[in-house]
Chains A and B, each alone.
Chain A
Amino acid sequence: MYHTKTLSELSAMLQAGEVTSVQLTEHFLDRIKQLDPQLNSFITVTETSALAAAAAADEQRKAGTAGPLTGVPIAHKDIFCTRGVKTSCGSKMLDNFESPYDATVVEKMQQAGVIMLGKTNMDEFAMGSSNETSYYGAVRNPWNTEAVPGGSSGGSASCVAARLAPAATGTDTGGSIRQPASFCGITGLKPTYGRVSRYGMIAFASSLDQAGPMAQSAEDCALLMNAMAGFDTRDSTSLDEAVPDYTAQLDQPLKGLKIGLPEEYFGEGLNEDINSTIQQAIETYRSLGAETVSISLPNTHLAVPVYYVVAPAECSSNLSRFDGVRFGYRCEDPQDLEDLYKRSRGEGFGAEVKRRIMVGTYALSAGYYDAYYLKAQKLRRMISDDFKKAFEQVDVIMGPAAPETAFNIGEKASDPISMYLSDIYTIAVNLAGLPGMSIPAGFSNNMPVGLQIIAPHFAESKLLNVAHQYQQKTDWHRKIPGDFE
């Protein structure tokens, strides 16, 4: 059936006239209707506009003006503003918000002819690693519906893993694409900071946030990156670098590739079974002609502490825009302006968002700036320098995407610190602004394990090449959870 195909295969079928966009769109909408009640991966399904767009895509194909993505359906994380469609960011604060404009990512996808199936569930304002902080309830992992899908792009990961959509967009501030991709057994790419426009992507931590594709394969991610990436004058942190064809280098052989294995990513805290799965993946790379080099990223243990200053500080400032005045939630019967602010924000935000706003407010408050934010920025440079040094010796860095497989819903919900530590291998990559991927590398106790690959700034083509070559040798990325075949 269509849903067992990758996005690249569906694109080829559309081009060959073996299927129409309307047929594909109907198929995936039916699957969402039938199967999503088990997962809760969608907040909004845009059935009517999807079918209309699919019909238009089919017309375009008849007219001979279709591109590779014309008529392919995907889902957008509900962090991306979509004109006239509810954009909640997983929060009660924006439950009533219909964006007056489209995010650049959404606009670019539309221009490429991509059909939006709907908006996916997520941790509230992308703050979480389990998708349990969503106002719309937890999302379930299709490999075991008692387990979390990871977060914050949990809905995107879950719906792609269950084949309710061929691909989805995600965002990654500290691991929010790679950790859920790892937990759900899909392929996710977090591009270089500034590679994909942040315009219309609701801001969490502006010096870390980056959007990227989540799909079945590296080839799919390359196709999607061709549409997503690029300079945008409307995002002041967007980088003006030429966009290559990300599919061009996929087939390059890996002979002589130098893979760095950081000793800090294979030490204490890593589940034994995950370690051996990752070692097997690395063995596959050796068989493809790659060499491995033991390296050290000595400041790895500081990444989580630094992140929990930088991200909350930036979030406390970004989220000050939610004031109950111009859009979003407003409390009933405000007594005065301060009451309006305090109750709109107190009632509109969930507990984790409030925690992070308060940590950030504290870190930025008078007298504490040097001790927290400035200190964190200094350590951020040391973490970034570790990677710079490593990339003088190696082409890519590999390790696990997460220290464990998907944990159960509720298991870490009451302990923020243990939740934060589930991003221990992904956070440093955001601090350094590097591109990173998680690709399916096997299973541990029937739950997916993700291999993380990290490359230097703007080396997404290399990253996708390295991932694609592995996927030509293995079929982990083609595995579908039993109840969703």
Chain B
Amino acid sequence: MSLGPDDVKNIAHLARLQIDESQIDGYASNLSSIIDLVEQMNAVDTSDVTPMAHPMDLAQRLRADEVLETDQRDEFQKIAPKTENGLYLVPKVIE
């Protein structure tokens, strides 16, 4: 299966990745060869196989819904690109 420049642009948009126009063709060719590699999977009939999500078939462990973390907002926001009054700043979303 081969991916064209428009496919790459669409995937990059879904992944929220800016890709330079000059690199689109390069990615299209790389991604196509990776998809070709992956499609070797299709040669095998797996209709009777149960999918394996965990190497030991274990489910995710759950815990009681208790507050365990202390408030460390100041420390976490020290490393943020932009904050104000304890809030993370991003460009205006609603006019």
Name 30 interchain pairs, CB-CB below 8 A, sorted by A.
A194-B55, A236-B61, A302-B40, A302-B44, A305-B37, A308-B34, A309-B41, A324-B81, A325-B80, A326-B88, A327-B80, A327-B81, A330-B82, A342-B18, A343-B18, A354-B27, A355-B27, A355-B31, A358-B8, A358-B12, A359-B31, A361-B15, A362-B7, A362-B11, A377-B52, A378-B50, A381-B49, A382-B44, A416-B33, A416-B34
Smallest CB–CB gap between A171 and chain B, Å?
16
Q: Give 1 or 0 for each of B12-48: 1 = CB within 8 Å of chain A CB.
A: 1111111110010001001101110111111010100
- A194-B31 CB under 8 A given contacts A337-B93, A420-B37: no
Contacts of B30 in A (CB 8 A): 355, 416
Choose among A193, A341, A375 the residue that contacts B41 (Cβ–Cβ < 8 A).
Answer: A375
CA distance A236 to B60 in the complex (A): 6
Smallest CB–CB gap between A38 and chain B, Å?
32
- A305-B49 CB under 8 A given contacts A193-B56, A325-B88, A349-B17: no
Question: Number of contacting residues on B, CB 8 A?
Answer: 53
Main secondary structure of the interface of B (DSSP, over half): loop
Contacts of B17 in A (CB 8 A): 342, 345-346, 349, 354, 357-358
Q: Please tell me if the beta carbons of B88 and A341 are within 8 angstroms of each other in the complex.
A: no
Choose among B7, B15, B52, B80 the residue that contacts A326 (Cβ–Cβ < 8 A).
Answer: B80
Interface residue? A28 (CB, 8 A): no
Interface residue? A18 (CB, 8 A): no
Interface residue? B67 (CB, 8 A): no
Q: Please tell me if the beta carbons of A346 and B19 are within 8 angstroms of each other in the complex.
A: yes
CA distance A345 to B52 in the complex (A): 31
Q: Please tell me if the beta carbons of B27 and A358 are within 8 angstroms of each other in the complex.
A: yes
Contacts of B63 in A (CB 8 A): 233
Q: Please tell me if the beta carbons of B52 and A378 are within 8 angstroms of each other in the complex.
A: yes
Smallest CB–CB gap between B88 and chain A, Å?
5
Interface residues of A in 45-86 (CB under 8 A from B): none
Question: Number of contacting residues on A, CB 8 A?
Answer: 71
Footprint of B on A, CB under 8 Å? 96-98, 100, 193-194, 207, 233, 236-237, 239, 299, 301-302, 304-306, 308-309, 316, 320, 323-328, 330, 334-343, 345-347, 349, 351, 354-355, 357-359, 361-363, 365, 372, 374-382, 384, 416-417, 420, 431-434, 457
CA distance A452 to B61 in the complex (A): 32
Q: Please tell me if the beta carbons of A431 and B80 are within 8 angstroms of each other in the complex.
A: no
- A384-B55 CB under 8 A given contacts A316-B15, A345-B16, A347-B18: yes
